[in-house]
C-alpha cells in the first residue's frame, strides 16, 4: 500500500482532507524530530502539526503515567461516577487559571470545549431568567473547530461552505490588524453596531481567541480593544469566552493567555496542550460568577460525552502539568519565546515579502504581502503558503502556512509553534531552515509577480 515515504492515496481507505496532496507516512518521533517511513528526519516546528505535541515526541514519563492509570482503571463514565484523576486535574487547573475560576468540565477536544463553552454561556443566562440571550459576537478571522456550532462562530465563507444551511447566524467584527484597524477602535465600533443589531439584551457572549492560532497566526488585539470590550460587558451583561484550545496550558508563556490579557474572561475552553498529543482531552473552565448561577439555579449543567473526564486521559493531563512545573517550561517558553521572535524577525528581515513577525511565547506568526507595495495580498494563484511548507519540508522542517485570502481578512501566512522542550540549537536550526525556505519561495514569487495586478484586501462594506 505504501510507495515510500508517501501513502499511495489511490490504495488508501482513509478519507483524507485533500485528495491531491501527498501525505508523508510518519512512523516515529523523538523529542522535536519525527521520522518518515524512508528514514528521513524532520524538525517539528509545529508540535505534531497541530500545536498539540507541546512536550515533544516519545516521552517515556507521559507514556508511563498513561500505562499506570490504564492498569488501575482506564475508564468510567463521569455522568454517574467520578474518579481521582478527574477530581485532581480539575483542582490543578483551577489553581493555575486566572483568578476567580473555580470549576472545570472535561471534554475530548477543542471543538467540544468550544461547544461546551457556548452551552455554558447560554445556560448561565437561562439560569438567571434571561432566556432571550443567545447571540454570539466574535472576530471574523478565527478558527474554533469544524463542528456546526463552531464553524458558525467565524465569518469565513471559505470554511463555512457548503454547510451554510446548518450554521446558526452569529455576528462578527473585523480583526484589529494593521491592515484594518491598528488601534482597536474600529473593532469596538463594529462591536457596538453588532450589539445594536442583535439588541444588547439578546447577546449571550463575545467569543474569541485571546491570541490567535492558525487563522491569524499569533495575532492579539490592541489593549484598547480589550478595555473597550470589558466596558461593554459591564454595560450590557454578556459573557466573554476565550478559545484557548491552542494558547492554554503554556503555549504563550503563561498557564493561560487569559492570565495576561487586560480583562478576565468568564469562560475558557482549552484542549491541545492539556494532553500534549498523548491523550485526547480538553476542558472548559468557568469563573465562579458563572458557576454560582447554576448553584443557585437548577443545580445541574448539561450532558457530556462518553469519554469526558476519563481516568486515562486525566492521568495524562496530570502528568503533563507535572512536567511543565518540574521542568520550568512555562518560564522557558515566555523567556525564550521573546528571543525567538527577534531571531525569526532578523532572519526574515531582508525579505520584502515578509510584512510582520509577531507572537508570544512559542506561538509565532509571519504574514506575507505583495512586495511591490508592501500591503496587498499576494495573488492566491501563486500558492505562496503551500510552497513555503513544501520548501520547508524539503529542507527537513515541518511548518504550517495558510492562505485564507478568499475570506478577505488575511493573506498568506505561516505559524511557527515548536514544542516547549526544543533546545536552543534546535530552535536556531528551525529558524535557519525556515528563513532559507521563505527566501527561496520569495525569489521565485517576485519573478512571477511581474505584470500581474495587485490583490487589495476586500473592503468591509462590500463583503
Ligand atoms: C484555536 C482553535 N480552536 C479550536 C480548534 C478545534 O480543536 P479540535 O481540532 O481539537 O476540535 C482548533 C484546532 O486547530 C484551534 O486551533
Decide: residue 14, CB within 10 A, 0-12 exposed, 13-18 middle, 19+ buried. Answer: exposed
- Phi and psi at 426, nearest 5°, equal -70, -35
Cell of 315: 492521568
Cβ of 213 closer than 6 Å to ligand 1, yes or no, is yes
Cα gap 394→388, rounded to integer Å: 10
Cβ of 244 closer than 6 Å to ligand 1, yes or no, is no
Residue 340 three-state SS: helix
Q: Which pLDDT score is estimated for 458?
A: 62
Q: End-to-end CA distance of the chain, in Å?
A: 46
Q: Which pLDDT score is estimated for 239?
A: 98
Per-residue pLDDT of the chain (463 residues; tens, 9 = 90+): 444 689 888 889 999 999 988 899 999 999 999 999 999 999 999 999 999 999 999 999 999 999 999 999 999 999 999 999 999 999 999 999 999 999 999 999 999 999 999 999 999 999 999 999 999 999 999 999 999 999 999 988 889 999 999 999 899 999 998 888 899 999 999 999 999 999 999 999 999 999 999 999 999 999 999 999 999 999 999 999 999 999 999 999 999 999 999 999 999 999 999 999 999 999 999 999 999 999 999 999 989 999 999 999 999 999 999 999 999 999 999 999 999 999 999 999 999 999 999 999 999 999 999 999 999 999 999 999 999 999 999 999 999 999 999 888 999 999 999 999 999 999 999 999 999 999 999 999 999 999 898 887 764 543 4
Decide: residue 209, CB within 10 A, 0-12 exposed, 13-18 middle, 19+ buried. Answer: buried
Residue 117 three-state SS: helix
Query: Who's near 161: CB < 8 A, 6+ residues apart?
Result: none
Measure 445 CA to ligand 1 centroid, in angstroms.
31
Query: Who's near 293: CB < 8 A, 6+ residues apart?
Result: 124, 127, 128
Identify any residues that bridge with 195 across adjacent strands, giving them in sequence order.
none
Q: Which of 142, 245, 257, 363 to mutate to test the pocket of ligand 1 (most atoms within 8 A of CB)?
A: 245
Cβ of 294 closer than 6 Å to ligand 1, yes or no, is no
Cell of 242: 476565550
Q: Which pLDDT score is estimated for 406?
A: 86
Cβ of 110 closer than 6 Å to ligand 1, yes or no, is yes
Do 348 and 357 meet the contact criterion of CB atoms below 8 Å apart? yes
Cβ of 408 closer than 6 Å to ligand 1, yes or no, is no
Helical ranges in 283-368 per DSSP H: 288-295, 311-326, 329-348
Measure 415 CA to ligand 1 centroid, in angstroms.
14
Q: Which pLDDT score is estimated for 218?
A: 96
Q: Which pLDDT score is estimated for 407?
A: 86
Cell of 367: 504574514
Q: Which of 53, 111, 208 to mutate to test the pocket of ligand 1 (most atoms within 8 A of CB)?
A: 111
Q: Which pLDDT score is estimated for 178?
A: 86
User: Would you put residue 115 in left (φ > 0), alpha (ψ -120 to 50) or beta?
Assistant: alpha
Measure 274 CA to ligand 1 centroid, in angstroms.
13
Residue 404 three-state SS: coil
Would the pTM of this model clear 0.75, i.e. be above it? yes
Q: Which of 106, 118, 145 to mutate to test the pocket of ligand 1 (most atoms within 8 A of CB)?
A: 145
- Phi and psi at 28, nearest 5°, equal -155, 165
Is the dihedral angle over the CA atoms 335, 338, 342, 348 positive or is it negative? positive
Amino acid at each position: 500500500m505504501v510507495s515510500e515515504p508517501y501513502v499511495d492515496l489511490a490504495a488508501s481507505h482513509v478519507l483524507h482532507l485533500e485528495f491531491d496532496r501527498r501525505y508523508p507516512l510518519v512512523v516515529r518521533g523523538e523529542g522535536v524530530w519525527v521520522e518518515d517511513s524512508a528514514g528521513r528526519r524532520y524538525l517539528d516546528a509545529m508540535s505534531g502539526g497541530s500545536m498539540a505535541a507541546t512536550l515533544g515526541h516519545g516521552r517515556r514519563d507521559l507514556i508511563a503515567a498513561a500505562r499506570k492509570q490504564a492498569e488501575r482503571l482506564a475508564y468510567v463514565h463521569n455522568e454517574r461516577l467520578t474518579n481521582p484523576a478527574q477530581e485532581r486535574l480539575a483542582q490543578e487547573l483551577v489553581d493555575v487559571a486566572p483568578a476567580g475560576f473555580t470549576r472545570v468540565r472535561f471534554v475530548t477536544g477543542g471543538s467540544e470545549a468550544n461547544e461546551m463553552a457556548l452551552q455554558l454561556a447560554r445556560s448561565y443566562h437561562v439560569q438567571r431568567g434571561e432566556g432571550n440571550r443567545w447571540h454570539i459576537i466574535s472576530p471574523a478571522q478565527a478558527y474554533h473547530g469544524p463542528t456546526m456550532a463552531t464553524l458558525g462562530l467565524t465569518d469565513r465563507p471559505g470554511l463555512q461552505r457548503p454547510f451554510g444551511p446548518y450554521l446558526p447566524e452569529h455576528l462578527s467584527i473585523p480583526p484589529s490588524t494593521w491592515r484594518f484597524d491598528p488601534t482597536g477602535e474600529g473593532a469596538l465600533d463594529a462591536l457596538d453596531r453588532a450589539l445594536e443589531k442583535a439588541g444588547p439584551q439578546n447577546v449571550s457572549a463575545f467569543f474569541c481567541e485571546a491570541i490567535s492560532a492558525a487563522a491569524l497566526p499569533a495575532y492579539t488585539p490592541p489593549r484598547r480593544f480589550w478595555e473597550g470590550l470589558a466596558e461593554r460587558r459591564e454595560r450590557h451583561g454578556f459573557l466573554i469566552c476565550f478559545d484557548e484550545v491552542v494558547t492554554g496550558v503554556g503555549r504563550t508563556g503563561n498557564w493561560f493567555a487569559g492570565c495576561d490579557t487586560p480583562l478576565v474572561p468568564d469562560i475558557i475552553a482549552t484542549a491541545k496542550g492539556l494532553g500534549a498529543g498523548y491523550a485526547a482531552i480538553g476542558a472548559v473552565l468557568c469563573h465562579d460568577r458563572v458557576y454560582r448561577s447554576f448553584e443557585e439555579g437548577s443545580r445541574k449543567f448539561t450532558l457530556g460525552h462518553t469519554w469526558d473526564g476519563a481516568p486515562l486521559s486525566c492521568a495524562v493531563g496530570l502528568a503533563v502539568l507535572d512536567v511543565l512545573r518540574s521542568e520550568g517550561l512555562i518560564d522557558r517558553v515566555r523567556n525564550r519565546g521573546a528571543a525567538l521572535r527577534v531571531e525569526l524577525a532578523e532572519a526574515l528581515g531582508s525579505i520584502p515579502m515578509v510584512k510582520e513577525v509577531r507572537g508570544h511565547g512559542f506561538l509565532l506568526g509571519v504574514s506575507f504581502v505583495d512586495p511591490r507595495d508592501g500591503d496587498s495580498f499576494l495573488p492566491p494563484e501563486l500558492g505562496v503558503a503551500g510552497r513555503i511548507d513544501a520548501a520547508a519540508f524539503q529542507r527537513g522542517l515541518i511548518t504550517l502556512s495558510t492562505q485564507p485570502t478568499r475570506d478577505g481578512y488575511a493573506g498568506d501566512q505561516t505559524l511557527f509553534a515548536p514544542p516547549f522542550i526544543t533546545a536552543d540549537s534546535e530552535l536556531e536550526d528551525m529558524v535557519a531552515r525556515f528563513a532559507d525556505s521563505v527566501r527561496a519561495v520569495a525569489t521565485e514569487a517576485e519573478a512571477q509577480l511581474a505584470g500581474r495586478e495587485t490583490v487589495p484586501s476586500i473592503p468591509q462594506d462590500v463583503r
